[in-house]
Structures are given as C-alpha cells and as structure tokens.
Amino acid sequence: MAATTEQRAEPLPPRGSTAWGRLKRNSLAVVGLAIVVVIVALALAAPILPLADPNITEPADRLMPPFSEGAWLGTDQLGRDMLSRLVWGARVSIAVGVAATLVAALIGSTIGLIAAYFGRITDNVLMRGVDMLMAFPYLLLALAIVAALGPGLINALLAIAVVNIPFFARSVRGATLGLVNREFIEAARLSGFSDTRIILSELLPNVLPVIVITMSTTVGWMILETAGLSFLGLGAQPPQADLGSMLGDGRGLVMTAPHVSVVPGVLILILVIGINLLGDGLRDVLDPRLKSGALSRPVARTEVAPGPPSGSGDKGALLEVTGLETEFRVGRRVLKAVNGVDFTLQPGESLGIVGESGSGKSVTAMSILGLVPTPPGIISKGAIRFQGTDLLRLPLRDLQDIRGNRISYIFQDPLTTLNPLLRVGDQVEETLIRHQGLSSRAAMAQAVELLNAVGLPDPRTKARAFPHELSGGQRQRVVIAMALANRPDLIIADEPTTALDVTTQARVLDLLNDLRRQTGAALIFITHDLGVVSELCERVLVMYAGRVVESGPVDAVFNQPRHPYTAALLACVPVLGEPDRSLAAIPGLPPAVDDLPRGCAFADRCPLVLPDCRAREILLARSGEGRRSRCIRWQEVGHG
C-alpha cells in the first residue's frame, strides 16, 4: 500500500484558506470576475450613464463607422448609437439569461429535492420525465416551446429555462441522495418536522453549493441561447433589442457595415468567456473533486535531477544502487521517500525489502526503471547501475529496451495492473513482440505456452479472456507470465500477493519461486510479510523512513536482529505454536518524510534511545559478517 499512497500524493490546499482566498489565487477566475463585474456594472448603470437614447433613429447618420465623432462605436442602419444600444442590449441579454437561470434553478432544484427526498415512485416519475427532456437535442425543444407560445423575449426565456431544468434536477437530486439518510435528517423527522420544513431548512442549505455550481456553469449557455433565439428573430421583438437581435439585424449588412454585427457579437463572446472563467473558478473552489484536469499525469519516466554520471563500481554485480534519493515535490513540501539507499545484488540472488507502509521500499524499487510518477516524483541523487550501465542517465529509448526485457516488474494489485480492455493473451504477446520482434502468430503461441507455464488451466481459451473474466489469482498468474516472458535477469515483485486471498497467495508465491529458480533470474521482493521473505529470499534490507536501517543474510537478521526496528517488526509476527506470545505493535508512527529529524528517525519509538541518537546522523555501519546496521547500540538489541 505504501506505493499507492505515495504515488497518489496530491497537492494539499494551503491551510486555513477561505473560499474567497482560493478564488483570488486563481488568476483566470479573477480575470473572469473582472470581465463580468465591468459588463454587469455598465448594464446596471445604463439609465444613469450619459448615453444617447438607444431607440432614437437618425437616418442622416446611418451606418457611421466606429470612432466617428459623437458615436464611438458608430451607428446602425437606422442611425441609432451603437454604444448606447450595446449597453442597453447587454442589460436585456444579461437580465434574460440570469432570469432563465433562476427559473431553471428554482424548478430544477425543486424537482431534484423532491425526487430524492420522497424517493420511490415520486423519484421514478419525476426523473423519467427529466430523462425525456434530456433525450431531446437541447435547442430543438426550446424551439418547439417558442413555436407553441409564439416568438417573444419572455417566451424565449421560458423555453431556455425549461430545457435547462434537467441539469439542475439531476445534480441536485444526486447531491440530496447523499444526504437523505444522514442522521440529522433522521433526527429532524423524529422531531416531527414537516417534510417541507426538512427540505427547506435542512436539505436546501446543504445542496446550495451544488445549485450555485450548476448555475455558474449554465448561465453562460443560457445567455448564449436566449441571444441565439433573438438572433433568429424568435426572442426580443423590435423596438426592444438584446445583443442577439442586434447581431441578427446586423447580419444582412455584414458586407457593407460589419461593425453593426461585430460589435454585439464580440460583447457576447467576451461576456460568456468571463462567465465561464468565473464559473470554472467557482466550481474548483466549491467542489474541488470536480476540478477537471487538476490531477497530474505521470510522464514516461521519473525525472532525474542533473548530476555527473557515476563511475563503475562492483564489476560482477547485476544491480548496484548507490546513494539513491527519490523525493516527491508537492507544492513547497519535499517528501523524501527514499533518502540515500545503497545496495548491491548479484546475478541470481534474491533480496527481500521489508518495512512499514511509507518506508520507501516500493519507491526504491520503482526508481530502478524510472517508474516513480513524475510529477511529483523526482530522483534527486544517486546512481543505479545495471550490468554496469547507469540506468538513471540512460536515454529513454534504451531504458525502454531494458524495461520488461532484462528487468521486469510484478505489481501489487492484478485487478488494476492489467488493461481491462485487452485480452490477457494480447497483453502477454505485446511484450514478446516488443522485445523479441516475434511475429504476432509466434508471439501468441509463446504467450499461450507462458500461460500454461504459470499454471492457468486451459491456457488457449484463457488467452482470449478479458481480465475481468479471471479470478484474482489467475490474473496475477498472467502478470507473472508477462514478467517472465523475455527471461529477465531481474524480477522486481512489489507485494505481488497482498491483494490475493491466503491460499492463493501461497500457490502464487511457490510458482514465482519455482519459475525464478528455473530461469536463474535475480529477485527483489518487496513485502511487509517477514515470513515470506524468510522463505523466498537470501538477503534482506529493512527500510525505515526512506533509509536502510539494517541489512544482511535473512537467517542471521531474523534470528538475531541488530536494529531495534527489525526487532520490533519481528515481534509483530505471530509464531505458530506459541499462542501465548504477545503481539507487540510498534508504538508511535514513523516520522513525516518532509520533516525528518537530524538524528535517528526511529528514536521516538525506540526502547534503546540515548541522547546521542538524536544528536547526529547515524551511519549504516558493519554489524557482523555481511551485515550492516544503522544503530549505535546494535550490540544490545535483543538483549533486554
């Protein structure tokens, strides 16, 4: 689970921020707000502004171009002042758009609240009706209503309001459904409150943000659509004019006097842009979950901070990790998930990495092939040499040649690691084609063989199955087949059985172990299950707060831990035949990785802590044959 939570680290909202504060920080929303405020203020102030009368015609001054004297924006075909008409037209358009929004919000929210509160038949009848409205192309229903009621601004307003009712009904119903079974509603019912009172005083205030969000996202359309109906001559009737009818009047003159249509068109565009910017900002503030595209996607490989290429170390080693530091940069916080890890792996060797959630074991493993998600992950220091090449400095294309070929991964949850849309055989085949250049036919034959080797019954049929048609254990067998497909030199298994039930776990582990031995691949096995490590691995690394705290041969480390943390982990393992043994949970929590202490990170939870432990950094020092420990009192561990 460690990997999952660390990968999903998202920027936290700054503490203590108000909605207004957050809105202000969104510069686009502020621009939108400014646009809307200016236009609305002008429209509201129209009667007191020193403007010409918008309806006074002056045939002598018709179609004056913009920037003429006495008419900044020119005049229209009847010699009316465009600026004045624009301000008055905006007033009408905004009023009608806002009124339509209010009508739609009122009726739609009422339907949504009633449907969700009463449920059952009421809900069914109301929402099926709403579905019917949604089944129409949006504007056509409005046209049908205008057709029946007759052209006119009020009728256009009503028509646009009606077609927007479903958006309010649906979102308000959804929000209310989440509330109707909560305790406070139950309490209000038991206190004998009437249904009306519960809806108005208990439910409505809680769904108000949803209504506001829906209003802010629909008001722009409604202004556009009412203007559109006026443009078609179905809304505002002369002499009354809104922006749409001005545009409609001007379109016949587009060749001789384009300003008559361009001016109102541009104003609609700017107004709606402003409203949409503000609406997006409001939505982000009021409902961060809806924030579209707020999530970062990981890029093809983990970003590596620039640094000098590392010299070669142990020539015979398969993998040599030195001074690896991987961190997550979240806003101003830097989470040091891996904080200086060194280890070496010989060909064919099996290494276990154990530690609590958040100890950095998964991030260490994913750093090897650059699979730590960036953003926010970044490998800030260190070297990872595989067969002598530094993987961190390798071009992406060369790294891709190693991924899935010389080094392969088995991830934790087989439900999510397989692509749900592709047949499992194709997913195995893909890696064969990629790295061995096999033809599709040869690759499929080999994929079936691999599925057979991992013990899938009837592999030929199973190859054509989709992941959701297989059990968890079967899926993980597919993942193992994929990992083994190109006979890798190193397999990295990251808690491969955690998501499986216990009996399946044992079988999958046996399979993994057998196949690894047959192919002679080295193994890095990440787990918090110490029992599995002692079965599968020769050596073990114990990690804590991003660092290795102890390493050595599995038997030696587990029989005689030389770090208090290892000892504490071992004390948590139940032992068969010793039912009286108390399971000691480790008191306290690991330190936050953005605020690591200078001294030993385990000091706060350690029974052997001395003042010295906190005073300086504790180094990983030799603690026996092939063993190292990051503890100054390692000789006393396990003796009292």
Q: Footprint of another protein on residues 149-208 (CB under 8 A)?
A: 149-151
Q: How far apart are CA 480 and CA 417, in angstroms?
A: 11
Q: Does residue 93 belong to the site contacting another protein (CB under 8 A)?
A: no
Pick the piece of the chain touching another protein (CB under 8 A) from 95-103, 204-212, 339-347, 430-438: 430-438
Integer Rg of the chain from CA: 34
Query: Which of 247, 353, 354, 490 is close enough to bind another protein by CB under 8 A?
Result: 247
Pick the piece of the chain touching another protein (CB under 8 A) from 465-473, 559-567, 583-591, 617-625: 465-473
SS (H, E, C) 139-164: HHHHHHHHHHHCCCHHHHHHHHHHHH
**Residue 148 CB, nearest approach to another protein (Å):** 4
3-class SS at 591?
Answer: coil
Q: How far apart are CA 41 and CA 91, in angstroms?
A: 10
* Cα atoms found within 13 Å of the Cα of residue 502, Cβ hemisphere only: 1
User: H helices of 232-298, where?
Assistant: 243-250, 259-286
Torsional sign, CA 271, 273, 275, 281: negative
Torsional sign, CA 390, 387, 493, 402: positive
Q: How far apart are CA 302 and CA 4, in angstroms?
A: 16
Q: Does residue 95 belong to the site contacting another protein (CB under 8 A)?
A: no
> Contacts with another protein in 299-328 (CB under 8 A)?
300-301
**Which one, 219 or 603, has the nearer CB to another protein?**
219
Tokens of 554: 């599995």
**Which one, 428 or 608, has the nearer CB to another protein?**
428
Tokens of 361: 């074991």
Pick the piece of the chain touching another protein (CB under 8 A) from 246-254, 355-363, 530-538, 571-579: 246-254
> Contacts with another protein in 223-242 (CB under 8 A)?
224, 227-228, 231-234
**Residue 269 CB, nearest approach to another protein (Å):** 6
**Residue 293 CB, nearest approach to another protein (Å):** 5
Torsional sign, CA 611, 614, 619, 620: positive
Spell out, one character per residue from 370 to 389, where the chain touches another protein: x when CB under 8 A holds, - when not. -x-x----------------
**Which one, 29 or 568, has the nearer CB to another protein?**
29
Q: Does residue 132 belong to the site contacting another protein (CB under 8 A)?
A: yes
Q: Does residue 577 belong to the site contacting another protein (CB under 8 A)?
A: no
**Which one, 362 or 505, has the nearer CB to another protein?**
362
Torsional sign, CA 184, 187, 193, 194: positive
CA distances from 592 to 334, 362, 540, 601 (A): 11, 17, 24, 10
Q: How far apart are CA 324 and CA 332, in angstroms?
A: 22
Q: Does residue 141 belong to the site contacting another protein (CB under 8 A)?
A: yes
The residue type of 210 is V
Query: Which of 146, 443, 541, 603 is close enough to bind another protein by CB under 8 A?
Result: 146
> Residues in contact with another protein, total (CB under 8 A)?
85
Pick the piece of the chain touching another protein (CB under 8 A) from 182-190, 461-469, 543-551, 613-621: 461-469
Q: Does residue 434 belong to the site contacting another protein (CB under 8 A)?
A: yes
Spell out, one character per residue from 248 to 287, where the chain touches another protein: x when CB under 8 A holds, - when not. ---x--xx--x--xx--x--xx--xx-xxx----------
Q: Which residue has the tokens 């203590």?
A: 16
**Residue 247 CB, nearest approach to another protein (Å):** 6
Tokens of 275: 């409203």
**Residue 533 CB, nearest approach to another protein (Å):** 23
